[in-house]
Structure 1
Amino acid sequence: MSIGVVDSVNNYLLTDFYKDLKRDTLDWRLTIRTLHTQEIYDHVRQNTIDIGLPLGEQLIPGIQVKKIHTEKLMVVSRHKIKDKNTLFPIDLDTDYQIFIPWGQDYQHWHHRFFPPGIPPKFSVDSAKVAVELLDDKLWFLAPYGVCMQIAKTSICHISKLGLDTPSRNLYMITNNLNAQIKRRAVVMFKRRLIQYIRRSERSIEDMLNQYNPDAETLSYKSFIHEFDTNG
């Protein structure tokens, strides 16, 4: 099996999934490629990878697209900003922003609250790089799951936002022809991946409950309910 995955999903969501595959009863032989969303679609369309995990949805003939995970955003900083637990865009100084492009919906939302004429301090395409850049003033926005993993391994502060943010959606895509040729492997891989994602969502919910039982967990449950209802 060969898969193409965006950087943040590889580094923050799927690390334990790969460990699970090592212990699996099936003898998986897996090629993992870190790619951008458009590259993932191109490779799946060309049958050069079997399964893609992009962050955006595209309608392409012969390509099956399924949304498998969704989450909102929080603020990551080295220390608490303005001594507040809940932040609004006015509390966040663009001069000290590390911008990460979490998808088109996020970028449209971002331009509404952070004037595009004022460039951020840094623009990066990797949450790991953003964490390395953090200091006493810099901050960035990241999805719940990424934030919780960062909090486990780095000295930082996670703050909620006092307004709604766009969802960062993860999709699973396959080429219909290739999925038939490798039907058993593709079906088994998809099944294991979905099971893992659902377990991860429950873990994120538990962590959010410990972080702030009256805010983030309630909000995250509503996201999951909406996803299960509509997705």
Structure 2
Amino acid sequence: MNIDDIQAFLAIVANQSLTKAAEFLHLSQSSVSHRLKNLERELGLVLVERRKGLKTITLTPAGEDFIQVAEKWMHLLLETQSLKSRTSLSLAIGSVDSVSTYLLPNVYQKIISQHPAMRLHIYTKNSTELYDLLEQRTIDIAFVLQERLIKNIELSPFFAEPMVVLRLALPEHQAVQYIHPEQLNPSDELYHEWFPTYQIWHSKWWDPLKPPHIQVSNGPMVLPLLRTAHQWAIVPLSIAQSAAATSKYTIQKLTDPPPDRICYKLTHKMAKSSTKEALAIFEAFAAELYTQFDYLNQIKHR
């Protein structure tokens, strides 16, 4: 089948008229009619009923059935053609929101600056969704907060970072560098369940049967909600430092802190050959995070 003939048929269907289809395609009506006849001849089917005096076209049953086939064929053809125009370096990166927003932007920027021909596709999802996307080969690398063992996925700890208390930058808070969990009123907490071991630590200090007044499903959401002097939230240091840089918030360290938050790097064990070079470039720049953020602890793969 010829792409021009398929386009003519779909234009006729969309516009319900040979005349309007010709205008849409910037062709003469006779050219559109000729392409339709070519398609019908190749298929051995009559797709459009031809009756004199009708301003709108009517599809035959075969024509109605062929619409879906034509749309799929056109989609596959465009996908095939797009392969020719794609750069040789392309990488699909998935990450949980807090890592993508507060740690990876500089990595993205350096790649764009030093490898302008390299294309990045960035996905922000939760950890469970990222495992699924990597299994489906939709993404090439992912950064998650959950450790799962899956047959075709290579998992390795990427970094660990401390958890700290974040509060409004008021003099009484700025004067306190370290704080004990017992000094924090749970009724004033903005709570997010960061990871399982964090939840265990949290339950040690505050009654798990008394839910917090405000609980968020997305960690960074605590920032716009942190508005009063009594409120507090425990967040990863990367989020806390970014927030403190605005001068609106201050950081307090815990004398009995929760476990560090661990971020895991995922790649597919059967990485596509077309992405191996791009992966190597990305991982080289990502390794510089340990220098840029000196509080990140590099974890050796077990």
- The two structures have a TM-score, normalised by structure 2, of 0.64
Instruction: Give the secondary-structure state (helix, strand or coil) at the position aligned to 1:177.
Output: coil
Instruction: Give the secondary-structure state (helix, strand or coil) at the position aligned to 1:47.
Output: coil
Partners of 2:226 and 2:247 lie apart in 1 by: 10
Gaps of 5+ in 2: 1-90
Residue pair 2:156, 2:301 contacting (<8 A) in 1 also: no
1:162 is aligned, of 255, 263, 266, to 255
Is 1:106 the counterpart of 2:198? The answer is yes
2:282 is aligned, of 184, 189, 198, to 189
- 2:194 maps to a residue whose letter is W
Instruction: Give the secondary-structure state (helix, strand or coil) at the position aligned to 2:271.
Output: helix
Partners of 2:221 and 2:98 lie apart in 1 by: 11
Flag the 1:228–1:6 CA change in 2: closer, same or farther, 3 A: closer
- The two structures have a TM-score, normalised by structure 1, of 0.83
Residue pair 1:44, 1:52 contacting (<8 A) in 2 also: yes
- 1:99 maps to a residue whose letter is Y
Q: Tell me what 1:137 maps to.
A: 230
- Alpha-carbon offset, residue 137 of structure 1: 1.7
In percent, how many aligned pairs have the same letter? 27
Gaps of 5+ in 1: 205-219
1:85 is aligned, of 154, 177, 192, to 177
Residue pair 2:98, 2:239 contacting (<8 A) in 1 also: yes
Residue pair 1:82, 1:91 contacting (<8 A) in 2 also: no
Is 1:66 the counterpart of 2:156? The answer is yes
Partners of 2:286 and 2:188 lie apart in 1 by: 37
- Greater C-alpha Rg: 2
Instruction: Give the secondary-structure state (helix, strand or coil) at the position aligned to 2:270.
Output: helix
Flag the 1:180–1:65 CA change in 2: closer, same or farther, 3 A: farther
1:121 is aligned, of 206, 213, 220, to 213
- 1:158 maps to a residue whose letter is I
Q: Tell me what 1:152 maps to.
A: 245
- 1:132 maps to a residue whose letter is P
Q: Tell me what 1:214 maps to.
A: none
Q: Tell me what 1:216 maps to.
A: none
Structure number with higher relative contact order (C-alpha < 8 Å, ≥ 6 residues apart)? 1
